[in-house]
Each structure stands twice: as structure tokens, then as C-alpha cells.
Amino acid sequence: MLDQSEYAFNELRHLVSERAIQGETMLLNMGPQHPSTHGVLRLLLELDGEIVVNCFPDIGFLHTGIEKNMEAKSYEKAAVMTDRLDYLNNLGNNLVYCMAIEKLADLDVPVRAQAIRVILTELQRIASHLVWLGTHTLDLAAISLFWYTFRERELILDIYEMVSGQRMMTTYFRPGGLWRDVPVEFENAVREFIKIFPQRIEEYEAMLKENPIFIERTRDIGILKAEDAIHWGVTGPLLRATGVEQDLRKADPYMGYEQYEFDVPTQTAGDTYARYQVRMEEMRQSLRIVQQALDKLPYGPVRSNNRKFVPPPRSELGTSMEAVIHHFKLWTEGFDMPEGSVYVAAESPRGVLGVYLESDGGPKPFRVHWRTPSFDNLQILPELARGHLVADLVALMGTTDFVLGDIDR
Amino acid sequence: MNKELEKTASALVERYSVELRESRGQTNLIVSAEDIIEVCQTLRDEFGFNFLEVETAVDYWPRQEPRFHVIYQLYSIEKHIRIGLRVPVSGVSPGLPTLVGLFANANWREREIWDMFGIRFEGHPNLRRILMPHDWQGHPLRKDYPLGYEEVQFTFNAEEIDRDKPYAEE
């Protein structure tokens, strides 16, 4: 009756309905190698015809033990692993990790570094939403948009390559500031992007806003109510599309977000189309923030001057014995973190991204826990999918905008 | 400390046997395993901490009593404040009551803690491994679990390893 292994059946027996055991409904495996699961997610579906009766996400295929590995590395070296969590929000991960260290060590961040961090994470938000838009519409059979969004994303990745030498795994933010200052071409490249991007959003919307197929596939699909969203710990655009105006950039500003003017877009419908509207508007707001941050980008150092945590510049090594000692200590052993624990959170493109960092006073983190938005957002998927068609499930996976690297860690 | 947070913390200290700890501008309460459900319920219903942001654990091996701390961060969406709870858990058959009844997303978070630390949550509807394969032995985030390698057995430590890791026998 069941094609599953004995184990799967026994484990899931108490989860599936009586009808599945009788053979009235079908159990179908979707993924882990399925193009619309955006990575390696396995969904076990219980189907009545084409209607989803229940769905069980099975995660862990991308589990790389990053939390465990970080415990074996010094703080600065562990920063490299943060890029690999949510690979569409590398700089956002860098940012939260650095914020946690800065909070625990009471390390200052120069204003120029803060402004550049804001510019780059907002560009990252746009890039992440572009990948979402491209793949989401691709899942809904609108292939052309995918090429357009990836064209614009390339411009952002070029900016990353310019500042850090890497397109994706940048590790550009370091505890106490940035790896190094941005090159002179940076400002023009960002201005160029700000100039062309608003029209491009218009172009995307022209393709989707009045597109009957797109509307048909997204309106009233997977309606989420505000109280359910909060009960399930859902954050980010999913929560804002239910009418809750919750954004950590406004609620609990970090990195000087309080000095920028921007709106938190919300919708009340809570369906897939509302989530699409929220994300489109978020891209415009991010652009506004980038524009303001760039206009008043201050000059000055980009890394803290605290030599106990930040290695001295190369130029000092030839003349100062103390600098040589600091250089040696910081690059071999790393810095000793004061004892204690902090929890720091920031708004990633997918929701609340938090780091719980605990130190026992040594040069390696005692415990790092990543509160990743996709982990909680995926939990709601069965609730959203119940009663919809399998084809709508594909739309729901797209609109949840999860990244498996973020879920499995 | 934030006024609201102060009010909440002092009310809880009065009502339950909790210990208040503040560091780096963050408020943490040490709560016993018996009280955790009630404390969370009070925080959610009376003080508006309606959002479970984090649930995770820390292992203090080789210390045994308490070996683990289970950590919660509750957030209030209306007031934009956050409170941390820490529950000490013994290293001998670690367990504590589940929060699934109060916050739905505790479901996967507790499965992750079970998977990674081997802490049982009584009353959890589906306490299976979530990230590791279902037939995995051991709990990877425990401090006595080696990182990516198995300890080599020699005559002098073979028995010790077999005792710590029954699955090492082969």
C-alpha cells in the first residue's frame, strides 16, 4: 500500500490521517530533488486527488553543522562560515554576527562603516528579493521575468565583487567595522544602480500586476491571519503581509537605521499576492535607504581603533613593536572575548535573523545559535497548503521564500 | 532597563522563584523547569510577550548539575521589548515540559534541541530528529561529541570510549 520505507511509515503513522492508512488518500514524495523546492527540501504529501490533505516538510539535507563548527574556530575565522548560512543574504549574516560580537565585547563601529554596512545590506535585500521574484514567477511558469531579475542582481553582485573581491561569499563585515574601505568606483556604481533600478521595478510590475495568470495563481492562495502568523513565529514579509507592522529596522534600530527615512510596507490580505506586493514595495524602500545613506556617507575610518580586537593596519607594523605583537596575537590566537552571553537580532530579507552568542572568556565562541527566519517560516507551510492544489503548493513554497542553507545550518 | 521590562521582571520575581540577571542591557530570568510553562503563559497573556523568537540550549559539560541551560527569548510585538529566560536542566536524563501548547513554532525548535542536545520535551506531539538522519547515534551539539571525527581507540582508552559512546563498539 505504501511505497515508503518501513521507518517512514511507522514514524508518520500518527501524523497522517486514518484515510491514508486505509489507502484512500495517496502519500507522495516531493523532493528533495525537485526544482521548485529551492534547494533540498523533501515534502511528504498526503493527497486526495490533487488536493493537499496534509504536508510534512522533512529538512536536514543541507545540515552542515555550522553551529558546531563555529565553536572550534576563533571569532574572526568563524565569520567566514556565516556567509554560508543563508546564501542569498551573506552580508546580512555577517552583520548580525558582527553585531553580536560588538555587543558582547563593547566594541565601537565607526560611522562610515555603519553607513556602508547599511548600503550593502539594503542592496543585499534587493538582490535577495530579485532571486525570490525570479524563481517565484518561474515556478508559476513566467520564465521571462527570471532573466530580467537575474540581470539586475548581477549589477549588485558586481558591486560586491568590487568591494570585497567576491560575488557572494564576501565576509566583508568584520567585528568592529569592515574588512577595508570601499574603492573609489563604489559610489558611482551604486548611483548607477539607483538610477536604473526604479524603472526596472516598473517593468517587472508591468509584467505581473495585471497578468491574469499571475493573479489567478496568487490571489487568495495560502491566506495567513495575523494572529496565526504571530503564534507560529512567522516574521518578515510574510508577517507584514498580514497587516502587522513589525520591522526590526524601525522597532529596534541598529547601525543607524533611525536616521534614514523609510516606510514599512504592509498589506492586510495575507495571501500570496499580498506578499508579492509587500516585497516589491520593500525593494523601493531599500532603494530609498541606499540613496540617503550614500548621500550623507561620512568620511573617516572604517574599522574600530581598539587594538585588542582589531588587527593594526599594515603600515604600523614596520614602526611599532606593539603593533607587531597585536598583529601576531590576533592572527594566531584571536581575541579573548569577555565572558557572558548576548542575543542580537536584525531584519533579514526573510525576517528576524538573530544570533545567540555565548562566551566563556576564551578566543572561541562557547555557543553560537542562529535564529533563522526560514526555519520558522517553513513550519507554517503545511498550514498554508492544506486544501490547496499541488500546483498551489509550488506557489506557496515560492512565496515563503525560504533558503535551505538558512533552515538546516 | 526599559520601564515596561522592569515592571514585567519585578512582577515575575514576586510571583515565581525566578532570578533576575542583567548584562549588556539585556534582561534574563533564571526559571526552574517546573515554572517555565506558567512563566511563559503569564508573559504571553498578561504582559504581551506573544512571540517566541528563540528556543535553544547550551551545554556546560563536564558540569552535570545543571549540565544544560535551555534558552528562550520572548518578544513583544506591540511594545518592541525582548526578555530572555534560562532554564537549568540536569545532565541526568535531561527533560522539561514542552511549550508547543503556547507557541506553535516551539514544535520544530524543540525537535532541534532534542536532536542536537538530547533534551526531552514532555508532552511534545512529535519528538523526532529533525536535522540529523533518523538512525543517527548521539547528539552533535553536546560538548562531549567530537567535531567531525571519532576518537581513535587505543588499548589505554578503548574502554573509556566504549563506555561514553556505545556505538563506537564494532
Res A126: pLDDT: 93
The owner of cell 491571519 is A225
Q: What is the mean pLDDT of residues A301-325?
A: 89
State ipTM. 0.86
pLDDT tens per residue across span A127-162: 999 999 998 888 888 888 889 999 999 999 999 999
Task: Give the pLDDT band (50/70/90) at residue A2.
Answer: very low
Q: What is the mean pLDDT of chain A?
A: 87
Contact B53 A230 (CB under 8 A): no
Contact A356 B56 (CB under 8 A): yes
Res A128: pLDDT: 92
* For chain A, percent of residues with pLDDT exceeding 70: 96
C-alpha distances in angstroms, B86 versus A344, B27, B140, B154, B160? 16, 11, 21, 40, 32
Of A65, A234, A251, the CB nearest to B140: A65
**Which of A28-42, B47-61, B84-98 has the least mean pLDDT?**
A28-42
**Between these two residues, B14 and A125, which has the higher pLDDT value?**
A125
- pLDDT exceeds cutoff 80 at A35: no
Of B80, B105, B134, the CB nearest to A379: B105
pLDDT tens per residue across span A228-241: 889 998 998 999 99
Contact B104 A231 (CB under 8 A): yes
Tell me the fold of A76-304+337-371. Cytochrome-c3 Hydrogenase; chain B (1.10.645)
- Cα–Cα–Cα angle for A79, A80, A84, rounded to 5 degrees: 110
Residues of B with CB under 8 A from a CB of A: 23-24, 26, 50-54, 56, 58-59, 71, 73, 77, 80, 82, 84, 103-105, 107-109, 116, 126, 128-135, 140-141, 145, 147-148
Range of the domain at B106: 3-168
Contact A251 B71 (CB under 8 A): no
d(CA A399, CA A33): 19
**Alpha carbon A56 to chain centroid, angstroms:** 23
d(CA A166, CA A204): 28
All structural domains of chain A with their residue ranges? 6-58, 76-304+337-371
Contact A345 B53 (CB under 8 A): yes
pLDDT tens per residue across span A370-392: 999 999 888 888 888 888 888 88
| CATH number of the domain bearing residue B57 | 3.30.460.80
- For residue B85, count other CB atoms closer than 10 A to its CB: 25
pLDDT tens per residue across span B69-127: 999 999 988 888 889 999 999 888 888 999 898 898 899 999 999 999 989 998 888 88
Q: What is the mean pLDDT of residues A19-23?
A: 75
Q: What is the mean pLDDT of residues A7-36?
A: 74
- pLDDT exceeds cutoff 50 at A49: yes
C-alpha distances in angstroms, A138 versus A35, A129, A225, B54? 10, 14, 26, 33
Q: What is the mean pLDDT of residues A174-178?
A: 89
Q: Using an 8 Å Cβ cutoff, are A392 and A68 in contact? A: no
Q: What is the mean pLDDT of residues A346-362?
A: 91
Q: How many domains does chain B have?
A: 1
Res A1: pLDDT: 41
- pLDDT exceeds cutoff 90 at A119: yes
Cis status, amide bond into A313, omega within 30 of 0: no
